[in-house]
Structure 1
Amino acid sequence: MPTAAGLRFARGPCMQQLSGLDATFLYLETAEMPMHVGALHLFELPAGSKGKFVTALRKHIESRLPITPVLRRRLWWMPLNLANPAWVDAVPDLKQHIVEVKLPKVNGQAPGLPELEAAVSALHPVLLDRSKPLWKFHVFEGLAPGPSGARRVALYTQLHHAAVDGQAAVALANAILDVTPTPRAIEVKPSRRTRTFKLEMTEMLRGVIGGQAQKVAEIVRNLPATVGTLKNAATSVVSASSLLTGKAGPSNLTLAPRTPLNVSVSSGRAFATVTLPLGEIKAIGRAFEATINDMVLMLCSTALRRHYAKQRVLPRKSLVAAVPISLREKGNTDADNQASMSFISLGTNIADTKKRLAHVKAATASMKSTMGQLKSILPTDFPSLGVPWLIEAATALYGKAKVADRIPQVANVVISNVPGPPVPLYMAGARMVTNYPASIVVHGMALNITVQSYDQSLDFGLMADAAAMPDVREFAEALRIAFDDLRALPRPGEDDPDAPPPLGLVRQTTERLGSSLGKAARGVVGGMVGSVVSGVTRGVTRGVMGGVVDAAVSQVTRRPRASDKPAEVAPPKKKRRAG
């Protein structure tokens, strides 16, 4: 294991200060809001493997440290915490950063996925030690074997969000994982950079003052372009609004309705997982001209609607999702945060599945149109002098005063979709079977749904506040049912079993009725009934038949009735008779 012996300290202008966005995750962190992300991985060990996986993993990570700088750096705080801290080099003690966790047997049986979910629920609220590199791996051995009988282990990873965002975490995974069971050889080139294990006072002051001045200068220099871009984006939003176009459409710029999720969070967590087939979801998306992101939002929308309708607390107004968007340029793999947040209406107030999918697609397209203009000016760095005190004080006050319980929220839930590797991956010779993300919940949004594609699967990690959503496992099952709902949707061009019968079919029925009454009566009855049907069917048939079919489907599938009961076709008004 490498040591710091013989390494000299740097005394030069090489301070790497955290960006404003990276440091914000440090200032927002409290016991109730841990700011680390990670994942729960299941691994299958090769046949005949012996010894503990935790030992093999430590050896493997040690060999990858030269290409994973995010694992060998720690924070260095500025004097009096006046500005953002900086990163300095560190030598991680792998026995402290990669630890074994023993799970008890359940009724004499080896632990499985439910026990792993419970373990992550208990470990996730534990804050990372800021005096060390901001990461920790937990290894679970002795699990129940897989379907093929292979020996299984699990790994729960923690990485502070100040160090990585979703894409940076994927880049880190690419560095420590392999595409074959045999780990690839790493070519380590001698670094000419002098390692910095501490910062002197003069260097800190010089770096802080110079850095702050440079950031202010950049803001001033980019101000005209920023104002112009904001003006153009605002004009586009207003010109496309229903107020000017007269066309009703989804609006992402709205306050979110109050739900059980919009509360101040506690220090407890509840974690659940779901795996869905990626290929089938892609096929359904292609049929409806929807992206993978559209399909993820649609699945979450349907599950949220079902879950809260069952509890009779589904709002009449649509829930809103906070959706992170990447600001990274193509090919950028820097280990920092380059992301922002957008808001998308989920259409949870729409009962019809096809119409809800159309709503989600339109809302996503609207968000992309607006954010596409703003991505170039959204900041990931800004001056930080005095900011640590301000944000930390505001965060503490916000949580203690339970402000989130009193004020309207801009979103109800966080939904993040991160593209992952399309092929099986291995670590220390073990094949990774699943990759369930574990992310952050914050005051006012007590559920985080993070999704990552892996191999042929779409893996959902559901992290909830234990008080706001203790039944997160039930919500996970609602996601499975939502997938079945999408499977059952008739594809465009196929016959729709829910569609009302055509007018011609009704006329044929009335004519058959007329024929049973005789030739003479048929003309009278068929003519009268046919005339009535022609005048009324167009206004009533869809509403009546749609309601009947909806009621039947609800009974068969046991779908809960929503409290809002949106009526899409109003019954025709009765006409007054003349005279």
Structure 2
Amino acid sequence: MTGKRLTPMDAMFLYGETPQTMMHVGGLLPFAMAPDAPADFLRHLMQEIKTTAPVYAPWNLKLKTPGFLLNPAHQWIVDPDFDIEYHVRRSALPHPGDERELGILVSRLHSHPLDLTRPPWELHLIEGLAGNRFALYVKFHHALVDGYSAMQLLVRSMSENPDSREEVLFFSLPPRRRTEPAPPKAASSPLADIGAVLGRAVSLTKSVPELAASLVKLQLRRDGDLKHLVSSYEAPHSVLNARIGRNRRFATQQYEVARLAAVGKAAGATLNDVVLAICGGGLRRFLSESNQIGDKSLIAFLPVNVRPKGDAGGGNAVGAILATLGTDVADPIERLHVISRSTRKAKGQLTNLPMESILAYSAMLMAPAATQVFAAMTGMKTPMPFTFNLCVSNVPGPRHPLYFRGARLEANYPLSIPIHGMALNITCQSYAGTLNFGFIGDRDALPHLQR
């Protein structure tokens, strides 16, 4: 994670009953089998992994002290008893498996906590998908590797050449040599930003004087029209703001980026605005069907990467904004306009600010979420509105089709982290002209997530 590490109490607030083990993210990667692949391709791959595939750091490292939240040093050691068959497993759907059955399996796999006495990651080879397809499901703990680095490793383990058959899985990639060019430096993936921003807010890592200085730098922009700016404590109570358990539901959706971009261009909105409009429309229908639609719109917490003014190093500032999802607006076009005005006004608050002020302002904006998390965790009834109802992230991914030994990667669906008081997390990732949505939610709070 970025920023100051969470304390044990912070993690308990955010991630539920087993904070150490449930702070994992993952990805679902479906593939179309290569035309020349044998019927038992995954069996051969598993045999190769068991017998000859090397495993490099950090994938062979485990925590010296498994209760690592009590050990801020996070000391890692090579696992002397590393067992590749524990970390890489084969699963099969009843043939021919469909998308619903795949989602059910991944939901179950993602609900299982990681064993912190071992290197905290798992890879599942899933066969039996209809249409001569298979899938990879991978999950890993944030303490081992951040989302951005993991994505870079996944990209390195594949090729843009469909005729290549030399690719190896990510854990068999040797560390980059110092002479090799490093990938472009960027902030950690928004997959991790929810923990970074909320962790900073809950633990109040910024001092009061620093927050005050940030407010001064914001110049308290009251001279403009602020009616579309969402502030803390504007979110309504909803079914999403519940105490969560460890069991998850997972659903996916894929759209063509060109189609969404055309919608945004026609409306004078951004691609991210269209993403939020899609989420808002789906949530409005979901709440309406269960008679839970209210007069106030749901509010989304959006991790944002904002390059500081005058930053010659190309680094990104990781901040947070709040925006309406327009769930109180029936007309989809008007909903998109409402969302666009909201995000434009929120981003305007961060414009021309240095990184320190962006982080401090984001912490100040999200600090009231501690009350929300505590209320959901304890079941306490509070008359105060919540800070947000859910998190929506948009992560850039590879622009060109990727292949693993001739098998074409069809999509990359991210799985992020729900927390107490936020039973739904939506993350989407771009890939080869598509936008891939991963919906991860608490099983009990959202019994009809697929809808």
Same fold (TM over 0.5): yes
Q: CA offset at residue 399 of structure 1?
A: 6.6
2:76 maps to a residue whose letter is V
Q: CA offset at residue 83 of structure 1?
A: 4.4
CA distance in 1, matches of 2:142, 2:381: 22
Structural mapping, 1:70-469, within 5 Å: 70-77=58-65, 82-90=70-78, 93-103=83-93, 105=94, 109-145=95-131, 151-181=132-162, 182=164, 183=166, 227-233=212-218, 235-236=220-221, 238-240=222-224, 242=226, 248-326=227-305, 339-372=318-351, 373=353, 375-377=355-357, 401-403=378-380, 408-469=385-446
1:152 maps to a residue whose letter is R
Q: Is the 8 A contact 2:31 2:410 kept in 1?
A: yes
Cα pair distance change 1:312/1:224, threshold 3 Å:
closer
Deviation readout 1:370-410 (Å, 9 max, x if unpaired): 23436434569xxxxxxxxxxxxx99987762348886421
Q: CA offset at residue 77 of structure 1?
A: 3.5
What SS does the aligned partner of 1:287 have? Answer: helix
CA distance in 1, matches of 2:350, 2:47: 42
Name which of structure 1's ranges 252-261 and 367-376 shifts more when overlaid on structure 2: 367-376
CA distance in 1, matches of 2:128, 2:312: 40
Q: CA offset at residue 273 of structure 1?
A: 1.0
Question: Which residue matches 2:27?
Answer: 39
Q: Is the 8 A contact 1:262 1:405 kept in 2?
A: no
1:352 maps to a residue whose letter is D
Deviation readout 1:497-542 (Å, 9 max, x if unpaired): xxxxxxxxxxxxxxxxxxxxxxxxxxxxxxxxxxxxxxxxxxxxxx
Structure 2: unaligned runs, 5 residues or longer? 180-204, 361-370
- Greater strand share, structure number: 2
Cα pair distance change 1:225/1:396, threshold 3 Å:
closer
CA-based RMSD: 3.9
Q: Is the 8 A contact 1:252 1:363 kept in 2?
A: no
Deviation readout 1:237-281 (Å, 9 max, x if unpaired): x44355xxxxx4343444211111111112322111111111111
CA distance in 1, matches of 2:356, 2:325: 26
CA distance in 1, matches of 2:394, 2:2: 25
TM-score by length of 1: 0.60
Q: Is the 8 A contact 2:233 2:384 kept in 1?
A: no
Deviation readout 1:75-115 (Å, 9 max, x if unpaired): 33399965414242435533221111233x2xxx4212111
CA distance in 1, matches of 2:72, 2:375: 21
Structural mapping, 1:516-527, within 5 Å: none
CA distance in 2, matches of 1:327, 1:58: 45
Q: Is the 8 A contact 2:32 2:408 kept in 1?
A: yes
1:41 maps to a residue whose letter is L
Cα pair distance change 1:189/1:375, threshold 3 Å:
closer
Q: Is the 8 A contact 1:252 1:345 kept in 2?
A: no
What SS does the aligned partner of 1:445 have? Answer: coil
CA distance in 2, matches of 1:64, 1:285: 46
Cα pair distance change 1:19/1:130, threshold 3 Å:
farther
Cα pair distance change 1:57/1:292, threshold 3 Å:
farther
CA distance in 2, matches of 1:54, 1:398: 48
Cα pair distance change 1:358/1:395, threshold 3 Å:
closer
Cα pair distance change 1:82/1:363, threshold 3 Å:
same
What SS does the aligned partner of 1:102 have? Answer: strand
CA distance in 2, matches of 1:187, 1:43: 24
CA distance in 1, matches of 2:283, 2:111: 24
CA distance in 1, matches of 2:54, 2:305: 26
Name which of structure 1's ranges 463-472 and 25-34 shifts more when overlaid on structure 2: 25-34
Amino-acid identity (%): 29
What SS does the aligned partner of 2:425 have? Answer: strand
Q: CA offset at residue 141 of structure 1?
A: 1.3
Q: Is the 8 A contact 1:74 1:133 kept in 2?
A: yes
CA distance in 2, matches of 1:79, 1:273: 33
Cα pair distance change 1:406/1:170, threshold 3 Å:
farther
Q: CA offset at residue 37 of structure 1?
A: 0.9
Cα pair distance change 1:86/1:448, threshold 3 Å:
same
Deviation readout 1:129-178 (Å, 9 max, x if unpaired): 11222211111112222xxxxx2111111022334444333223223222
1:229 maps to a residue whose letter is S
Higher relative contact order (CA 8 A, sep 6+): 2
Q: CA offset at residue 120 of structure 1?
A: 1.1
Q: Is the 8 A contact 1:73 1:87 kept in 2?
A: no
CA distance in 1, matches of 2:372, 2:90: 34
CA distance in 1, matches of 2:219, 2:318: 21
> Which has the greater radius of gyration?
1
Question: Which residue matches 1:20?
Answer: 4
1:231 maps to a residue whose letter is V
CA distance in 2, matches of 1:363, 1:58: 53
Q: Is the 8 A contact 2:106 2:250 kept in 1?
A: yes
Q: Is the 8 A contact 2:217 2:357 kept in 1?
A: no
Cα pair distance change 1:455/1:471, threshold 3 Å:
same
CA distance in 2, matches of 1:38, 1:318: 30
Deviation readout 1:415-437 (Å, 9 max, x if unpaired): 11111111111234421112111
Q: Is the 8 A contact 1:37 1:161 kept in 2?
A: yes
Q: How many residues align?
A: 399
1:431 maps to a residue whose letter is R
CA distance in 2, matches of 1:97, 1:251: 44
Deviation readout 1:459-490 (Å, 9 max, x if unpaired): 1111111222111111xxxxxxxxxxxxxxxx
CA distance in 1, matches of 2:113, 2:317: 23
Cα pair distance change 1:406/1:351, threshold 3 Å:
same
Cα pair distance change 1:188/1:35, threshold 3 Å:
closer
What SS does the aligned partner of 2:97 have? Answer: coil
